[in-house]
Structure 1
Amino acid sequence: MSESPSVNGQSWIRLHRELLKNYVFQNEKLWKVFTWCLLKATWKPHELMVGRQKVKLEPGQFVFGRHAAARELNMKPSTVWSYIKLLELDRIIDIKPNNKFSLITVANWELWQSDNKHPDNKLDNKRTTDGQQMDTNKKGKEGKERKEVYTPEFETWYSSWPRKQGKSDSAKNFAKRVQEHGLSFV
Structure 2
Amino acid sequence: MNEKGNWLKLWRNVLQNPIIMKDSEYFMLWHMLLCMAEFEPTTSLLGGKTIRLKPGQLTTGRKQLSVNSGISESKVERILNAFETAHQIEQQKTNKNRLITIVNWDKYQGSGQQTKQQLNNHRTTSEQQVNNK
Pair in the same fold by TM > 0.5: yes
**Correspondence 1:25-40 to 2 at 5 A:** 25-40=21-36
Structure 1 residue 73 corresponds to structure 2 residue 69: yes
Give the residue type in structure 2 aligned to 1:116: G
In structure 1, what residue type is equivalent to 2:8? Answer: I
Within 1, Cα distance between the matches of 2:12 and 2:97?
Answer: 32
How far residue 52 of structure 1 moved from its aligned partner, in angstroms, is 4.7
Three-state SS of the structure 1 residue aligned to 2:21 is helix
Q: Cα 1:53–1:76, aligned 2, differ >3 Å: closer, same or farther?
A: same
TM-score (norm 1): 0.55
CA RMSD of aligned residues (A): 2.3
**Cα distance change, pair 75–17 in 1 and its aligned pair in 2 (3 A):** same
Give the counterpart of 2:91 among 95, 116, 120.
Answer: 95
Q: In the alignment, residue 112 of structure 1 is paired with which amino acid?
A: Y
Which residue of structure 2 lines up, in the alignment, with residue 22 of structure 1? 17
Are residues 11 and 96 of structure 1, via their aligned partners in 2, closer, same or farther at CA, if it must alter by over 3 Å? same
Cross-structure match for 2:40: 44
Match for residue 6 of structure 1?
3
Aligned to 2:60: 64
Distance in 1 (alpha carbons) for counterparts of 2:15 and 2:113: 18
Paired residues in the alignment total 113
